[in-house]
Amino acid sequence: MRHAHTVEQVRAAEDVLLARMPEGALMARAAHGLAQAIIDLLGSPYGGRVLLLVGPGNNGGDALFAGAVLARRGCQVEAWTFADRVHEEGERALRAAGGRSSRFDAATSRPAPGTDLVVDGIVGIGGRPGLKPDAIAARDQVTGLPVVAVDVPSGVDVDSGETPGPHVTADVTVTFGTHKVAHLVDPAAAACGAVHLVDLGLALPPADVEALQPVDVAALLPRPGTQAHKYTRGVVGIRAGSSDYPGAGLLSVAGASTGLCGMVRYVGDAAVATRVRDVHPEVVGDGRVQAWVVGSGTGPHAAAELAAVLRDGESGVPCVIDADALAHVTAPLTSPAVLTPHAGELAAMTGVDRADIEAAPLAHARRAAMTYDAVVLLKGRHTLVAAPDGRVRVTTTGTPWLATAGAGDVLGGLIGALLAAGLDPFDAASVGSWVHGAAATLASDGGPIVAVDVASAVPAVVRRLLA
């Protein structure tokens, strides 16, 4: 599991460690980790050329000490500083190792020819979002050069993942001790590039934001016991599709019919049911279920289909509510549910502009989960799964090729199968989203896919996880 802690949690853990370590030892550990990551990128430090952008705090100190390590290894290192006073010991170490340091001047400062990469140490995790004018000017001067951010890209909001002002966009972010929310949650996560964690030995409390890793997904996946039969493995019912949108029903069933539960029932338009049976002869009709999936392609019948599902939910049967049915959800829900909106659908549900949701997805997903008393899966590049108690899991699997019609229908069916197999809504939504993204990546293999390809790749992903 990748855990993302808040600035307050990190600072408290650092204080405990600092109290029992020699002065400067923690920064030295961070700086050496940063320097090694830069060396890995350069291939060899000897003959390389690195430019440091150095702010006034410990973040700038990390950059300066790392620069000193690089200079001692034969790298040409120059630092631009952005304050009258920077980390004095770090600056002395850089100069003693042969590096150069000067105050940034927007009119005259230019990267030296042949500069290999830029290290962003302007603002650390204690900084406010946005950049000051001189930092913006320096950022613009190094456009086109690879950027390594120290802890977080300068200017992002660390605890929310928001980017309300100008900020640095990094190719690689080297962070210390633990991940921060900005490393996982968009739009800030998109500015981080690849994230490399340097372990500092911090003792940290549980985190409210996390991201599943393959071992976590494998541990959560339902597996049939030796005495299992189709009913003990769970039955999921699909109420999706219509004469206008038959494909939605077929794709929802495809997502559910990936082998993760024992049986799939289709309840809906008769013509769609015939097509479902032609493609999936193992799917049966109405009957008792352990979970429902409702909404995709139901059009004018969405309210009635949702009402039928929620009546069953009064006895504890959980459901996945997607697409057309989301417009008919009223808060709070009285049965266990997973809501699966994209930003536009959540905007319609909550009366908030779509742009505002896209700018602050973590805040809006959490607020919706509390309002509806349900798990809310907010789709995006990094999909968020928010529980009513504030816990959030971030999906980091997937590929841009997954932005294709019907992919959400497959996801709803997949989550419904996991609910029927016994996972609680939070686990079902986060595991389903992870597997969905991994299946898309596998099916894509770097090229285009359609939604049915994602469903077809799920069994292979599960086999790899369980192996």
C-alpha distances in angstroms, 210 versus 258, 316, 392, 437? 26, 28, 6, 16
Is 140 annotated as belonging to a binding site?
Answer: no
Which residue from 358, 373, 371, 379 is spatially nearest to 432, judged by alpha carbons?
Answer: 379
Question: Is residue 268 marked as binding?
Answer: no
Place of tokens 């000897």: 46
Tokens 């549980």 identify what position?
A: 206
Under 8 Å between Cβ of 418 and 260: yes
- Token pair 């929620």 is found at 310
C-alpha–C-alpha distance, residues 259 and 324, integer Å: 26
Residue 161 among known ligand-binding residues: no
Question: Edge-to-edge strands of the sheet including 172-176?
Answer: 100-103, 76-81, 49-54, 117-121, 147-150, 172-176, 194-198
Q: Cα 98 to chain center, whole Å?
A: 41
> How distant is the alpha carbon of residue 100 from its chain centre?
38
Identify whether the C-beta of residue 83 lies closer than 8 Å to the C-beta of residue 102: no
CA atoms of 247 and 239, how far apart (whole Å): 13
The reply to whether 226 sits in an annotated binding site is no
In degrees and rounded to multiples of 5, residue 295 shows phi and psi of 125, -40
Q: Where are the alpha helices (DSSP H) in 43-165?
A: 58-72, 88-96, 133-141
Place of tokens 């939504």: 429
Q: Is 128 annotated as a binding residue?
A: yes
61 in a known ligand binding site? yes
Return the exposure string of 148-177: e unless at least 16 CB atoms fall within 10 Å of the residue's CB, then b.
Answer: bbbbbbbbbbbbbbbbeebbbbbebbbbbb
Are 198 and 224 within 8 A, CB to CB? no
Is 127 known to sit in a ligand binding site?
A: yes
CB 460 within 8 A of CB 410: no
Q: Residue 38, annotated ligand binder?
A: no
62 annotated as a binding-site residue: yes
342 is in an annotated binding site: yes
Query: Residue 280 annotated as binding?
Result: no
Instruction: Please indicate if the annotation marks 412 as binding a ligand.
Output: no
The residue type at 171: D
Lookup: tokens for 322: 């997607």
- For residue 90, how many other CB atoms are within 10 A of its CB? 27
144 is in an annotated binding site: no
Is 297 annotated in a binding site? The answer is: yes
Annotated binding residue 248 = yes
For 348-385, b where at least 16 C-beta lie within 10 A, e where not — what string? ebbebeeeebbbbbbbbbbbbbbebebbbbbbbebbbb
130 labeled binding residue:
yes
124 in a labelled binding site = yes
Residue 262 labeled ligand binder? no
153 assigned to a ligand binding site: no
- Is 415 marked as a binding-site residue? no
Residue 409 labelled as part of a binding site = yes
φ and ψ of 364, to 5 deg:
-75, -35
Residue list, annotated binding site for K(+): 59, 120, 154
Residue list, annotated binding site for (6S)-NADPHX: 58-62, 124-130, 151, 248, 297, 342, 409
Residue list, annotated binding site for AMP: 379-383, 408
Residue list, annotated binding site: 58-62, 120, 124-130, 151, 154, 248, 297, 342, 379-383, 408-409
